[in-house]
Amino acid sequence: MFNNKESKVKSKAADISREELNLIGVGTTITGDINSGGDLRIDGTVRGNVNSKARLVLGPNGKIEGDIQAQNADVQGSVKGKVMVSEILFLKATALINGDIITNKLVVENGAEFNGNCVMKSGSRILDDVANGSGKAKAQTANV
């Protein structure tokens, strides 16, 4: 009488295997650099550089004291350091960034704050700068 449609519907969460999703929970503090090949969500504190080959989500209570490098990033918490995103950086309303931003595309919600320079570059140019260890802007910068 009833078809089990739930078995036919695939959720996005089901597409992510446990090896690809990393979580740093509220109340957790990590000192040192993090390198992740998959998605990474931080709701705790990281004192060190964070590198994700995929998507980084910094929750509203999350804090990073160090540089960020990711393919995509959603920031709701606070960052003290340089943010380098090769595709899209979303600054949510609760985001606070103290440091320079280098990204391909930037989306800023009302209420988000950042103090530093912002450079818009194509993703491949961002990765080239990171690979060369410079991360320096060769394009025009805008103070916001």
From the CB of residue 116, how many other CB atoms can be counted at a distance below 10 Å? 17
Q: Which residues contact 28 (CB under 8 A, 6 or more apart)?
A: 43, 44, 45
* pTM, to two decimals: 0.75
Amino acid at 37: G
Give the whole-angstrom CA distance, residue 92 versus residue 64: 15
Return the percentage of the chain with pLDDT > 90, whole number: 69
Q: Using one digit for the tens of pLDDT, what is the confidence trace for 69-125? A: 999 999 999 999 999 999 999 999 999 999 999 999 999 999 999 999 999 987 666
Amino acid at 12: K
Enter the DSSP assignment of 91: E
Q: Which tokens go with 129?
A: 């700068």
